[in-house]
Amino acid sequence: MYKQKTTETDADVIAFIEEIERPAKREDAYRLLEMFERVSGYPPKMWGPSIIGFGSYHYVYATGHEGDAPIVGFSPRKTKHSLYFTTDEDTRNELLAKLGKYTSGKSCVYINKLPDVDEVVLEQLIAETKVYIEELYPGNGEQV
């Protein structure tokens, strides 16, 4: 049986951010923390050792695989910030076209530093993800 690796923990979010060595990266992390919490309406929680998540939902795939995940989140990695969003493809593409300097994966957007992106568009991505996930998984916005 599959055991989910990234789960919500009781680790201290502020202590995690304080461990970031580079001052500019740490300041970006605090700004992202404030933005994600304000826009999502959820308090921050650590997911695994390095993801700061906001809200949570339970998913079940057609294959039977299931688990819990944060609605939105970010991780201040050593080289780039990883931002976790899930929206419909059209909304994602439309907003990413206006975001600024980034690279992306399937459900992750990577930015070097916060000044590289339009913070208004970033807030829209957070808000759209919250709406999308809460519609896709009704009743799952509370913490796990």
**One-letter amino acid identity for 26?**
R
Output the pTM of the full model.
0.90
Going by pLDDT thresholds of 50, 70 and 90, the confidence category of residue 63 is confident
Mean pLDDT of 106-121: 94
Angle between helices 89-99 and 119-136 (to 10 degrees): 170
The pLDDT of residue 115: 96
For the chain, domains (ranges, CATH) are: 13-135 (3.90.1150.200)
Q: Is the pLDDT of residue 98 over 90?
A: yes
Q: Which residues pair with 67 in a beta bridge?
A: 59
